Structure 1
Amino acid sequence: MTYEHILYDVSGRVAILTLHRPEKRNALNAAMVTELQAALDAAAKDPAVKVIVLKGSGEAFCAGADLESLQQLQKNTREENLADSRALMALMKKIYYHDKIIIAQVEGHAIAGGCGLVTLCDLSYAVPEAKLGYTEVKIGFIPALVSVFLVRKIGEGRARELLLTGRLITAGEAATYGLITQAVPAGEIDAHVARVAEDLCNNASGNSLKVTKRLITRVYDLPLDEALEHAAAENAVTREHADCQRGIQAFLDRQKLTW
């Protein structure tokens, strides 16, 4: 697929997806949402890709919905707005349930829908200068879809504070809240994310990463006994997988594995 609003590159076993509308502060529109879904599908199907990094061009990570999209919302029918919301929902679910680990590299502000993208990633690193937040209530809108994921990630109390006030927080605060993994100085973030991605590629089984991510997403809403039964079943299946057998044998033989 030819991309207009994103860049898609593969380096080693890492796919790098770059939001590429710097003149619009990488604001989301329907075309970018579609392209992001296609790029995530491409990375999912590529056996050479083990980790995905999501980043932005220019000064911002992502400023949320662009002005043209917001203007169009005022003209849409309810059915059109529902279809648009479902397209964004599909993108969010694709990130959340993706088989491969997705890392957000946030080198500028991540606002509203842009902060939503960060929320969905498995790991996220941001420069201290970046501001993050969900500002929808300040324009009479609601942070509808992201609220479902944010409550899961940081808990109801923190989610209420951020979503109801629309307050922008620093990367340091975001790390304290559990919204991002860590704040990393601007001069170090490229190398830091590359090291994290390389470590995941070389020191963890691809199947183990996939199944562990799936466990985290599945067991959250299950009753305790049902969650434990699900975990036990996944445990039993994983023991039969070639990665597990190879990994245990290497451990017993005191050999260093490179996955």
Structure 2
Amino acid sequence: MAFSFIQYSVAERVATIALNRPEKRNALNGPMVAELRQAFRQAAADEAVKVVVLKGNGEAFCAGADLEYLQQLQQNTYTENLTDSQELMQLFREIYDLDKIVIGQIEGHAVAGGCGLVTLCDLSYVVPEAMLGYSEVKIGFIPALVAVFLVRKIGEGRSRELLLTGKLVTAEKAAADGLITAVVPAAEIASKVAKVAVSLCNEASANSLKVTKKLIGTVLDLSLTEGLTHAAVLNAETRGHDDCKRGIAAFLNKEKLNW
């Protein structure tokens, strides 16, 4: 599929999805959201892809919603706005539920919906100069969809500070809050992300990554007893998987296994 607002490529089991509206600071609009959904579905269906890298071309990672898009939304009916909101909801859910690991390579500011995308990454590396935050309350809007994921990721207290103040924070603050994985100098971030992606591809079982990610995403919905019971079932199922058998055999025989 040809894309107009993003770029999609695959190399060495890593799919790279790049927001590609640098002249608009990679601001989101309806067509871009639709293309992102298609790209993530494409990566999900490609058995050759094990890791997805999400990045933005140009100076900003993503400035949030496009101004023209926001103006159009004001003319929409409630039903039209609900349908549009559900499209973004589906994108967020598809990234969160993706069977493959998503790494954010954040080389510029990530604001509002752009910071929402960062929130959904399993791992995220951010340059020191980038500012991140959810500024929706400052324009009379609400960070509704991302709040569901942010509270799960960093807890209620830190989420209240970020979502209610609408302030942008430094990458260092975002890392301290647990929003991102690490701050990496601009000259090193591409190689850092590539190294992590290659490590995941070569040193970890695809099945183990998939099951572990799903467990992390569901365990908060369960009681302690339900969570432990579910974990025991997954543990037993994984022991019977070919990946586990291969991994244990290689470990016992002191052989290096390339996944």
What TM-score results when the alignment is normalised by the length of structure 1?
0.99
For the residue of structure 2 that corresponds to 1:187, the secondary structure is: helix
| Residue 120 of structure 1 pairs with residue 120 of structure 2 | yes
Measure, in 1, the Cα distance between the counterparts of 2:73 and 2:61: 23
Name the amino acid aligned to 2:198.
Answer: E
Residue equivalent to 1:223:
223
Cα shift readout 1:67-109 (whole Å, capped 9, x = no counterpart): 1110011101000010011000000000000000000000000
1:6 aligns with 2:11: no
Question: Paired residue for 1:52?
Answer: 52
- State how 1:238-249 maps to structure 2 within 5 Å: 238-249=238-249
Residue identity matched to 1:119: T
For 1:119 and 1:29, the matched residues in 2 are separated by 19
Aligned to 2:170: 170
* Post-superposition offset of 1:16: 0.4
Take 2:2 and 2:69, find their aligned partners in 1: how far apart are those partners?
Answer: 22
Which residue does the alignment assign to 1:106? 106
Overall identity of the aligned pairs, in %: 68
Alpha-carbon distance in structure 2 between the residues aligned to 1:126 and 1:11: 22
Q: 1:235 maps to what in 2?
A: 235
Residues 110-133 of structure 1: CA distance to partner in whole angstroms, max 9, x if unpaired?
000000000001000000000000
Structure-to-structure mapping, 1:148-163, within 5 angstroms:
148-163=148-163
Q: Which consecutive segments of 4 or more residues in structure 1 shift more than 3 A?
A: none
1:133-166 deviation digits (Å, cap 9, x = unpaired): 0000000000000000000111100000000000
Q: Give the partner amino acid of 2:65.
A: A
Superposed CA offset, 1:176-199 (max 9, x none): 000000000000000000000000
Distance in 1 (CA, whole Å) between partners of 2:253 and 2:190 is 36
Q: Partner amino acid for 1:45?
A: A
Superposed, which structure 2 residues align to 1:34-73 within 5 Å?
Answer: 34-73=34-73
Q: Secondary structure at the match of 1:2?
A: coil
Does residue 83 (structure 1) correspond to residue 83 (structure 2)? The answer is yes
Q: Which residue of 2 aligns with 1:138?
A: 138
Structure 1 Cα separation of the partners of residues 220 and 182 of structure 2? 23
SS of residue in 2 equivalent to 1:220: helix
CA distance in 1 between counterparts of 2:45 and 2:244 reads: 22
What do you get for the CA RMSD once the two structures are aligned?
0.5
TM-score when normalising by structure 2: 0.99
* Mapped partners of 1:106, 1:39: distance in 2: 18
Q: How many equivalent pairs are there?
A: 259
Letter in 2 for 1:239: R
